[in-house]
Amino acid sequence: MKVFFMSDIHGSAFYLKQALAAYEREGATTIVILGDELYHGARNPLTEEYGPKEVTTLLNAHADNIIAVRGNCDSEVDEMVLDYPVMSTYSILMHEGRRFFLTHGHIYSESNLPPLAAGDVFCYGHTHVPKAEKRGDIYILNPGSISLPKENTPHTYGVLEGDSFTIKDLAGNMYKKIQF
């Protein structure tokens, strides 16, 4: 199973189209969205081709393949227009015997980790900064932001395949990779 990770779309139809093209190129079967799908939030600038209605249409076309969690810019009204659940603080993905704790990062974070066992993977968005590292006996992953990257990082997504997680820019170039 190949899983495509993205976060922090913030209503950008422009960057979501690129991310969905990357999803198709990658041949992934599942999309994990780590929050902040439709709206830009009060602290962010408007994204390129800001269009929450178009983003809704694009995402709904893939609803049967999406696992999503709530970001700090997501609301109950978003779940009314999206054809998949979006209001969970976290979700769990099992992949090749390993537990992936999926969250946005504004409640559970690197400084407020949930209970995790050795070998578990903490996946979050929120910071808009890609990360793939091992800390002690757990792994920390952040695919970055497809629309509003921070700290001079590129627009990125992540791919989970086999025993590795690869962060790539929207053109498909490898940015970071970690083996489990």
**pLDDT per position as a tens digit, 19-64:** 999 999 999 999 999 999 999 888 888 999 999 999 999 999 999 9
Number of separate domains in the chain:
1
Q: Specify the pLDDT at position 58.
A: 98
- 36-46: b (≥16 Cβ within 10 Å) or e: bbbbbeeebee
> Residue 146: pLDDT band by 50, 70, 90 thresholds?
very high
Assign 14 a pLDDT band (cuts: 50, 70, 90): very high
CATH code for the domain of 123: 3.60.21.10
Q: For position 131, what pLDDT does the model report?
A: 98
Task: Tell me which residue of 24, 4, 3, 15 sits closest to 54, measured CA to CA.
Answer: 15
Q: How many CB atoms lie within 10 A of CB 98?
A: 15
Q: What is the pLDDT of residue 57?
A: 98
- pLDDT of amino acid 40: 87
User: Does the pLDDT at position 143 exceed 90?
Assistant: yes
The predicted pLDDT at position 33 comes to 98
Domain that holds residue 91: 2-179
